[in-house]
């Protein structure tokens, strides 16, 4: 008998092939923490639904901004983070952090994601290219506004390949490939707004310039 469990995130369910009615975790609605030995061959999995209409996100832009700032303070070098991007085709992007959040003291510069100014609070990271659940770490360094961080400390798993991909931008370190788990993808998607709101975003970040 299949089990379906609402996890409180719009668009996602936790499912498994058989249900357990024995352990305390399952009775409490935490099937992913099941302790029943006979259920070890039926692990709980997080699945993404494909609804005809998107669920309403009960989070305001100001709340997202506050969450992003708080998350940015937890970021350490080499952490994987998800960042909101003002793009309909690519609403979020993965990065590997180079260092901790810092106050920018350099000159005014324009990057692909906007203009950075002295006094901006930024993270710096290497962009990760990919779609679905497979991503490649590139040598392209990019600034990240701390307000745009949507998930931090993601547990990406490295893929072992026979050959290494090399950067063509002068950085000759070997580039790595990683997979993003369905749980972490759900975490990212649940932290994203359902529409792009540049006007509101501009009002919340005094130093935001498109």
CB 176 within 8 A of CB 166: no
pLDDT for the residue 192? 79
Residue 129: inside a domain, yes or no?
yes
Same domain assignment for residues 88 and 184: yes
The pLDDT value recorded for residue 161 is: 67
pLDDT of residue 58: 47
- Name the E strands within 49-179: 80-84, 92-97, 102-103, 109-111, 114-116, 121-131, 134-145, 149-151, 157-159, 165-166, 174-175, 177-179
pLDDT of residue 200: 47
- Give yes or no: residues 70 and 42 share one domain: no
132 in any annotated domain = yes
Domain count, the chain: 2
How many residues does the structure list for the chain? 210
Both 119 and 176 in a single domain? Answer: yes
Mean pLDDT by 10 residues, the chain (210 residues): 66 75 77 78 73 53 86 95 84 95 94 90 95 91 94 92 51 74 84 59 47
Are 199 and 113 in the same domain?
Answer: yes
Domain with 116, as residue range(s), is: 61-204
């Amino acid at each position: 008998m299949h089990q379906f469990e609402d996890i409180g995130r719009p668009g996602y369910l936790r499912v498994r092939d058989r249900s357990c009615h024995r352990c305390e975790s399952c009775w409490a609605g935490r099937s992913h923490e099941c302790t029943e030995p006979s259920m070890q061959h039926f692990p709980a999995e997080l699945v993404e639904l494909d609804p005809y209409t998107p669920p309403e996100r009960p989070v305001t832009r100001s709340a997202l901004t506050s969450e992003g700032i708080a998350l940015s303070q937890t970021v350490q070098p080499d952490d994987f983070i998800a960042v909101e991007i003002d793009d309909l085709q690519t609403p979020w992007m993965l990065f590997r952090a180079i260092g901790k959040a810092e106050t920018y003291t350099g000159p005014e510069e324009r990057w692909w994601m906007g203009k950075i100014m002295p006094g901006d609070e930024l993270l710096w990271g290497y962009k990760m290219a990919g779609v679905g659940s497979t991503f490649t770490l590139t040598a392209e360094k990019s600034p990240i506004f701390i307000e745009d961080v949507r998930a931090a400390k993601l547990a990406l798993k490295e893929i072992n390949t026979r050959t290494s991909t090399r950067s063509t931008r002068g950085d000759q370190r070997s580039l790595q490939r990683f997979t993003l788990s369905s749980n972490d993808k759900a975490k990212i998607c649940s932290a994203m707004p359902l529409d792009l709101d540049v006007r509101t975003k501009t009002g919340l970040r005094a130093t935001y310039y498109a």
